[in-house]
Amino acid sequence: MEIKENEYHIVLFPWLAFGHVIPFLELSKSLASKSDSIQISFISTPSIIKRLPSIQPPSLKSRINLISIDLPSVDNLPAGCEATVDLKDGEQTQYLKKVYDELQAPVETLLKRIEPDLTIYDLINCWIPDVGTKLDIPTAFFSVYSTPMLAYAGPPSVYKESNNNHRRTPQDFAQVPGWISFPSTASYRFHEAVIMSEHINNPDITGLSTGQRHAKAVGGCNFILARSCVEVDGDYLNLLGDIYQKPVIPIGLLPPPAQSLAMKASDNSAKSSDSEIFCWLNKQQPKSVVFVGFGSESK
């Protein structure tokens, strides 16, 4: 992709999980649709690039460049594993993080060559701000997590060892934190709190815990992009601005474009499964159906 002088070039680089990749791709499409002068470079692994859904509408394809970057090999990570969905169990995720961290040097080389105007990054590649500072490229942290979840996670200072004495046990994670001053239910149930307290506080083989990555991701960027809107999460967005002390920009909920849904519904080659589901639901009595969500990668 050749970037013209009057074009604004944005790089997006998500974590290697499709629950992160797809929102980043939707954000890419949303940004590219705003202006003909916006060009997007979307970075991921060859395997993930191949598994991405086609870009709709087709008019955006010329403005979104998909860039593959090879993962180096690492012990304990089976060959061909380029996304969390490829892993046999959650224990292997730390090895995927390790090999992902090793992309810092090649990504720096890439960014130096293509000279973007902005780089949007994820939680795990929290080293992007260091690269941006070195190359004089502004950076933005885009969280695929909800705004209440970000507010619950709190300020970066919480995850410094000297300050993290009040959030060490599962009980600490099973209650609304004190910095949320308005009525809120943002907390974990105890069985979730047990897992979260370990992830937040305990470094894995990369030498970083999830809490430390969060602190680096939030603390190092120029601004934060929140997957939310004022109408839904106004109180939480205001709180985030206060605790981060930097701009927090709501970008909406990133639903699929209306034209993509219309194209799917009018596709005569295969009956839309969504249409079948809604037709069935419309025939059921109120409060007679239970929806169970297992997450994006449960097996």
Which residues are part of the catalytic machinery? 20, 122
- Cβ proximity of 72 and 50 under 8 Å: no
Say how many C-beta atoms besides its own lie within 10 A of residue 175's C-beta: 11
Six-digit token string for 56: 């709709």
Sheet holding 248-250, edge to edge: 64-68, 38-44, 8-13, 118-121, 139-143, 223-226, 248-250
What b/e sequence results for 60-85 when a residue is b if at least 16 CB atoms lie within 10 Å of its CB, and e otherwise? beebbbbbeeebeebeebeeebbbbe
